Amino acid sequence: MPDKKKVLVVDDDESIRELIQVYLEDDYQVFQAACGTKAIELMKKEKPFLIILDIMLPQKAGWEVCKEIRTFSNIPIIMVSAKGEEIDRILGLELGADDYICKPFSPRELLARVKAQIRRSTLQSEPLYDWIEEINEGKSTSPQCVIESNHLIIDDKKYKALLKGQFLDLTTREFLLLAFLAKHEGQVFSREQLLQNVWGFDYVGDSRAVDSAVKRLRKKLNEIDNKNEYIHSVRSIGYKFEVADNENYF
């Protein structure tokens, strides 16, 4: 039997940590932390596949933990918040959290979200060589799953993207945002439309999570290709994907 993937559960309430562990331990190897400092320590030591991260933590708040993790890892982060913690939840999403769930939550719903995030992350972490060979030989899973624009290739089914032959190391949300915009090249979307289509929920009160994700995505694209702009701001509206083939590229 293959080794179980590791999941880190971070919450200062022991009963909640134990409840989550009960629901996850059949499928995953679960580690627990009761504070933000311990979470960072276990993150670096155990290198989990996913983190379930409460917002209200002693020593270091959940959004601070999320921010620190994003400096060295793109693993999926599911943030847990009470209903009255909307501002902190917004901040967590701006800093790169992939999903959130409100307390009180259904353990089954949490398990479903964990499985979805890990499935995407697993596909992203599969060996690149075979995938690149499939793309080059036209043997990818399905032609309609592959988006090609200029020097960018996106496989919407395997959650992988290449730019100028280099792998784009993206979080789940960054990948889904890039794929969605690229599928609708030239079409302008408002921030609210992107939240609904990419984040998958109606986001009330703030749309800065989109701006933050676009900023991170642009930086990663620019690190590989600084001669083309892929995601354009449309004043007073939102964003669009569009790129002209640069004849002086090489």
* Fold classified for 127-241: Arc Repressor Mutant, subunit A (1.10.10)
52 and 100 Cβ atoms separated by less than 8 Å:
no
Residues 8, 46 contacting (CB under 8 angstroms): yes
Band of residue 134 on the pLDDT scale cut at 50, 70, 90:
low
β-sheet bridge partners, residue 99:
78
Tokens 């620019």 -> residue: 222
Which has more confidence, 248 or 146?
Answer: 146
Please tell me the predicted confidence (pLDDT) of residue 138.
Answer: 55
Torsion angle of the four alpha carbons 245, 156, 125, 17, in this order, in degrees rounded to the nearest 10: 130
For every residue of 16-30, DSSP letters joined together read: HHHHHHHHHTTTEEE
* Burial status of residue 109 (CB atoms within 10 A of its CB: 0-12, 13-18, 19 or more): exposed
Angle made by CA atoms 229, 202, 159, in degrees to the nearest 5: 45
Q: Which helix (H) or strand (E) holds 3?
A: none
Indicate the residue type of 168. Answer: L
User: For residue 221, what are its two tokens?
Assistant: 């694209």
Supply the mean pLDDT for the chain: 83
Residue 200 has pLDDT above 90, yes or no: no
Q: Which of 19-33, 61-75, 108-122, 125-139 bottoms out in mean pLDDT, i.e. has the lowest?
A: 125-139
Q: Residue 173, SS3?
A: helix
Bigger pLDDT: 142 vs 75 = 75
Measured in residues, the chain has a length of 250
pLDDT on residue 195: 86
DSSP count for the chain of H helices, then E strands:
9, 12
Residue recorded with tokens 């991170």: 216
Distances, alpha carbon 213 to alpha carbons 35, 124, 142, 189, in Å: 26, 18, 28, 14
What pTM was computed for the model? 0.68
pLDDT at 21 over 80: yes
The confidence band for 37, taking pLDDT boundaries of 50, 70 and 90, is very high
% of the chain at pLDDT higher than 90:
42
Is pLDDT at 56 greater than 60 in this prediction? yes
Domain ranges of the chain: 5-124, 127-241
Consecutive H or E run containing 50: strand 50-54
State in words which class domain 5-124 has. Answer: alpha beta
| CA separation for the pair 135, 160 (Å, rounded) | 11
Contact of 52 with 114, CB cutoff 8 Å: yes
pLDDT of residue 187: 95
What is the percentage of the chain residues whose pLDDT exceeds 70? 82
